Structure 1
Amino acid sequence: MARKRKGNKIDGWLIIDKPLGISSAKVVGAVKFHTKAQKVGHGGTLDPLASGILPIGLGEATKTMPYIVDASKEYAFTVQWGTATDSDDKEGEVIETGGRTPSKEEVENLLPQFTGSIEQVPPAYSAIKVDGQRAYKLARDGEKVELKARTVEIQSLKLTDFDEKANEASFHVTCGKGTYVRSLGRDIAKALGTCAHITVLRRLRVGPFTLNKAISLEKLEELGHSARAVEALLPVTTALDDIPVLAVTETEAQEIRFGRSFQTSKAKRDGTYVLMVGDTPLAIAEASDELVRPLRVFNM
């Protein structure tokens, strides 16, 4: 459950619809300022160019962050054909011009090649570390950045609009962890024998978090430091919706709070569970042969 404890210890998820032009770190700073929460973190960086879903975990919700980072995501994005940039978006320096505009039919026929498991080289301007430094920092310093290809999962990819006059095409993609949409736009263009860069990027979903659960920064400011800010929070367990729940007794809960495992026949299968004491989440735990071992214990 989302709740406020003593000393401004707020637990839950706040879903922000990040506007263009600001970093994810600035959004986290705004949430800290307006909620006075002691512990805040975000579930997946959005570039200043991108807008949309930015899940913010407060308090004990930060313990569920890995499950959000690993969750599938949905994006809407637009590419402009014929010009490439060093960042693969409109913020970068132009490095190639004169590319042709493919036909709508060519684009549609190509998309199945970019569905499923594909190999993708991340953009030079990314947060991946190279020799201990962020790739984007090296790129900004003028150093040549060579990143290795990685396998990512594209669950679906659809052409949603084709504007020949504007030299643009828009897409909707559902993808797995580690996918770079900027690289996807770049690689689609290369496969079509041209070049392109992304002009619009909007994140529509992160795991269970969708735009209909999001609030704007203006709305957050309006709620301010009042108790109403807590009303906008989603429960800590929202990030764990796909994980089965295991109800435990107070005696079993006491073992978990001390970091100890316990034996129970209620764990019918091996795997990860959310342990609950009544309506209160207790821990994320792993069950094996009916032995339940705590992985992350909530202090709620």
Structure 2
Amino acid sequence: MKPNTSHRPRVPRRAVHGVLLLDKPVGLSSNDALQKVKRLFRAEKAGHTGTLDPMASGLLPLCFGAATKFSQVSLDADKAYVATVQLGQRRVGGDMEGDVIDERPVRAAAEDIEAACLRFVGPISQVPPMHSALKKDGKPLYEYARQGLEVERAARQVTIHEIAINSWQAEANVLSLTVRCSKGTYIRTLAEDLGEALGCGAHLAGLRRIGSGPLTVAEAVTLETLADWTEEQRDAHLRPPDALVADWPAVRLAAEEAGRFISGLRRRVAQPDAPAVRVYGPEPTAFLGSAHITAGELIADRLLSPTEVQALLTL
């Protein structure tokens, strides 16, 4: 007989505002990680800033309450990864989870690898892998891949800002790289393309995200640590909602001007035009939202509600 769970007391939710930098473990989807953390915080509203592959570990910024309004900023930000590339072996799906489909000898020297890496720095064209969440006709590509189907995918333009070689284990044909790139870059595709450039094939043996915009994994916390902490300790570890836009120029308004801005009115400011700024009221922690400046006018983009502003002032 199944246990009767209908009378279990519901855990009360609460308004939580801020950003948590989670160090996601391998094997957990981004949404599963989000739900676990949301339960620990008893948060009413939460979201992540773009999926991190289950096979990857590392930085996953999670947004609560007012911070969810700025999750797109982190989604659009440049990313940084440490990738482990196994040369000489291609696998289904381009990573360790797939079966081996091709093995070739590796004859590349260190200087060959360095030259090949340089070929991929800058704007490049990538064909998204079948094992990805990108959708075709409303269905993720990985669902087609699980059925053994391959569908046509359009190439996408991305930018690789830097590829740094951390180590090269010639005996094991294992290469460790730090990659700094634009959003939408598929590191498994980069690994496979690098293998083809070297004439030996390759797959992605491991991946760890270490950065997203101004945020780094060095300041992230694990699920195990979160579970061991008290609620007060978890709350204290939250970053304010403006952490996602910390590298934008700041605009500070007097109390009367701040009130008009938060109601959606344009304000005149003595600052140069800018595509994106963070806006504050007179209090040091009174974050009001994001805006842009055109022809000396401050124009709101994403605003916090008065309730959210007040909640941040009392933290």
Question: Do both proteins adopt the same fold according to a TM-score greater than 0.5, normalized to the shorter chain?
Answer: yes
Q: For structure 2, which runs of at least 5 residues remain unmatched after alignment?
A: 1-12, 309-315
What is the CA deviation profile of residues 221-248 of structure 1, one whole-angstrom value per residue up to 9, with x for unaligned ones? 0124x22211011111111112111111
Task: Report the 3-state secondary structure (helix = DSSP H, G, I; strand = E; otherwise coil) of the residue aligned with 1:9.
Answer: coil
What per-residue deviation string (whole Å, max 9, x for no partner) do you get for residues 119-176 of structure 1?
1112111111111111111111221122221111111102211112212111111111
- Distance, in Å, in 2 between the alignment partners of 1:269 and 1:26 is 41
Q: 1:223 to 1:97 in 2, by over 3 A?
A: same
1:243 to 248, 256, 264: 248
The separation in 1 between residues aligned to 2:245 and 2:104, in whole angstroms, is: 48
Task: Name the counterpart of 1:231.
Answer: 236
Give the conservation status (yes or no) of the 8 Å contact 2:269–2:298. Answer: no
1:268 aligns with 2:272: yes
Distance 2:207 2:194 in 1: 15
Q: Match for 1:19: what amino acid?
A: P
- Residue 145 (structure 1) aligned to one of 147, 151, 166: 151
User: Identity of counterpart residues, as a percentage?
Assistant: 35
Shift of 1:267: 3.2
1:47 paired to 2:53: yes
1:66-77 equivalences under 5 Å are 66-77=72-83
- Among candidates 208, 214, 217, match of residue 202 of structure 1: 208
Would you say how many aligned residue pairs link Structure 1 and Structure 2? 293
Instruction: Say whether 1:127 aligns with 2:136.
Output: no
Pick from 20, 27, 36 the counterpart of residue 26 of structure 2.
Answer: 20
Is the CA contact 1:101–1:167 (under 8 Å) kept in the aligned structure 2?
no
- Identify which of structures 1 and 2 has the higher relative contact order when contacts are C-alpha pairs closer than 8 Å and 6+ apart: 1
CA contact (8 A) 1:270 1:290 kept: no
Q: How does 1:1-300 map to 2 (within 5 A)?
A: 8-224=14-230, 226-262=231-267, 264-277=268-281, 278=283, 279-299=285-305, 300=308
Structure-1 residue corresponding to 2:4 = none
Report how far residue 96 of structure 1 moved: 2.1
TM-score normalised by the chain length of structure 1? 0.93
- The answer to whether the 8 Å contact 2:134/2:141 transfers is yes
The residue type equivalent to 2:70 in the other structure is T
Q: Displacement, 1:95?
A: 2.5
Q: Deviations over 1:57-102 (max 9, x none)?
A: 1111111111111111111111112221221101123322335352
Where does the alignment leave 5 or more consecutive residues of structure 1 unmatched?
1-6
For residues 13-60 of structure 1, the C-alpha deviation after alignment (integer angstroms, 9 at most, x for no partner) is 100111111111111011111001111111231112111111111111
Q: Distance in 2 between matches of 1:149 and 1:271?
A: 28
Residue 26 of structure 1: SS of its match in structure 2? helix
| RMSD (Å), alpha carbons | 1.7
Displacement of 1:194 after TM fit? 1.8
For 1:38 and 1:57, locate their aligned partners in 2 and report how far apart those are by CA, in whole Å.
Answer: 11
Please give the alpha-carbon distance, in whole angstroms, between the structure 2 residues aligned to 1:82 and 1:99.
Answer: 6
Amino acid at match of 2:168: F
